[in-house]
Chains A and B, each alone.
Chain A
Amino acid sequence: MSQKTILVVDDEPDIVLTVRLTLELEGYRVITVGTGEDALEVLQRETPDVILLDLRLPGIDGFAVLERLPDHNPPVIVLSAHASGGTVQRALEMGCREFITKPFNPDQLSAKIRSILNGV
Chain B
Amino acid sequence: MSGDHHHPVPLSDVERRAKALEELLVEKGIVTTDFIDAVVDAYAHDVGPMNGAKVVARAWVDRAYKERLLADGTAAIAELGFGGAEGDHMVVVENTPSVHNVVVCTLCSCYPWPVLGLPPNWYKSPPYRSRMVREPRALLAEMGCPLPDDVEVRVWDSSAEVRYLVLPERPDGTDRLSEDELAQLVTRDAMIGVVRL
Do A and B bind?
A: no
Q: Could you list which residues of chain B lie within 8 angstroms of chain A, going by C-beta atoms? A: none
Q: Could you list which residues of chain A lie within 8 angstroms of chain B, going by C-beta atoms? A: none
